[in-house]
């Protein structure tokens, strides 16, 4: 019983870390949009071109924020794909067979 509890705690910790990574991406997106919106508002007041500076700042902020969000998401997806799934037995069996050459030597002996 205690073994099951420790396993669930371990998976809870790793999912908690992933949660902080994902929440960090959202925070990063909001900060980028906010900075560009502030710069656009500053440009409106400086050159008296309401509302074009704010609109341009928000547009650049959204574009830049989405770029970084997609870039980091792709990086996370690639890292998740490279990790082996312990529940997928066919993947493990194939990896073991390929690494040791199981079955290949028997095929070579039959051919000769």
Q: Please, are residues 37 and 54 in contact by the beta-carbon 8 Å criterion? A: yes
The verdict on pTM exceeding 0.75 is: no
Surface-to-core class of residue 45, CB atoms within 10 Å of its CB (0-12 exposed, 13-18 middle, 19+ buried)? exposed
Model confidence over 52-104: pLDDT tens digits?
A: 999 999 999 999 999 999 999 898 888 888 876 666 555 555 555 555 555 55
Summarize pLDDT for 27-40 with one digit per residue, the tens.
999 999 999 999 99
Q: In angstroms, rounded to a whole number, what is the distance separating the alpha carbons of residues 37 and 51?
A: 11
Domain residue spans of the chain = 2-111
Query: Is 54:40 a contact under the CB 8 Å cutoff?
Result: yes
């Amino acid at each position: 019983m205690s073994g099951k509890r420790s396993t669930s705690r371990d998976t809870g910790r790793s999912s908690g870390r992933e949660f902080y990574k994902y929440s960090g991406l959202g925070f990063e997106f909001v900060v980028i949009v906010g900075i560009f919106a502030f710069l656009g508002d500053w440009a409106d007041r400086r050159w008296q071109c309401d509302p074009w500076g704010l609109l341009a700042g928000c547009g650049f902020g959204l574009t830049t924020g989405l770029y970084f969000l997609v870039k980091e998401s792709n990086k996370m997806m690639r890292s998740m794909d490279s990790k082996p799934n312990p529940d997928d037995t066919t993947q493990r069996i194939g990896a073991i067979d390929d690494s040791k050459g199981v079955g290949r030597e028997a095929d070579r002996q039959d051919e000769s």
